Amino acid sequence: MTDALPIDHPPRFDAAFRRQLEQLYRWRRDVRRFRVEPLDEGLLDRLIQLTMLSPSVGNSQPWRFVKVDDPDRRAAVRSSFERCNQAALAEYEGQRAALYARLKLAGLDRAPAHLAVLVDHATDCGGRLGQRTMPETLTWSVVGAVHALWLLARAHGIGVGWVSIIDAERVRDVLAVPATWSLVAYLCLGWPEEEHLDPELERAGWQGRISNLDGVVVQR
């Protein structure tokens, strides 16, 4: 593929690109340890713009993005995380509880950028095509977009951490968004303090890789 091709010419992705894409998949991490230096504001917008190329059911494009810069709102989200994390810890026992307590599960304290990604359940866009049978696909379209943003960010050297140990309704209220929107992902973004190939939870001894092709079923 060369840059000289016009935009309406289908690109031919080559083996070198595919090797780099594979490296991107291998090195994408859920990052919780950030340097405090800010991201370039224009860069985050550029990432969001490209993220909007993601697939969506019926081309509904139901993703909504909220950049959370306000310190009070950030503090409220962090409080929600701390409450939920304490409650989660209380459900583990013995060694597992001790290990859980040592895990660093969010980068809310230092990440320079906080981005909430929400789904608008009330959108008319797409005319509900594909949603009659599987209405979850509206929200799932936003999940795919979050994955797209994650890979793009890593291609720029930027780490992303997805914080799911929060009260999604509480966070929605903190953000004061329309009632028809619900939270899909609260993301921390920033330059990572370190880069590593093994997932954070694997290196901490919580959960290693289990996936392999043994689990693929073929029905002939």
Pick out residues in 119-178 that bind a second copy (CB under 8 A). 125-134, 136-137, 139-140, 143-144, 146-148, 150-152, 154-157, 162, 164-168, 175, 177
CA dihedral 138, 124, 178, 48 (to 10 degrees): 60
Binding mask 178-197 for a second copy (x = CB under 8 A): ------x----------xxx
Task: Please state the closest distance from residue 211 (CB atom) to a second copy, in A.
Answer: 4
Task: Please state the closest distance from residue 217 (CB atom) to a second copy, in A.
Answer: 5
Where does residue 174 rank: exposed (0-12), middle (13-18), buried (19+ CB within 10 A)?
buried
Locate 170 and state its tokens: 């509480």
Cα→Cα distances 20→1, 6, 14, 56, 155, Å: 14, 23, 10, 26, 10
Residues 165 and 172: their CA atoms lie apart, in Å, by: 14
Task: Please state the closest distance from residue 34 (CB atom) to a second copy, in A.
Answer: 16
Site for a second copy in 58-97 (CB under 8 A): 58-61, 63-70, 73, 84, 87-88, 91-92, 96
Task: Please state the closest distance from residue 73 (CB atom) to a second copy, in A.
Answer: 6
Locate 46 and state its tokens: 């550029």
Site for a second copy in 24-53 (CB under 8 A): 24-28, 30, 45, 48-50, 52-53
Binder of a second copy out of 10, 37, 93, 95 (CB under 8 A): 10
Locate 63 and state its tokens: 């993703």
- The contacts of residue 108 (CB under 8 Å, 6+ apart) are 74, 77, 78, 81, 114, 163, 188
Task: Please state the closest distance from residue 121 (CB atom) to a second copy, in A.
Answer: 14
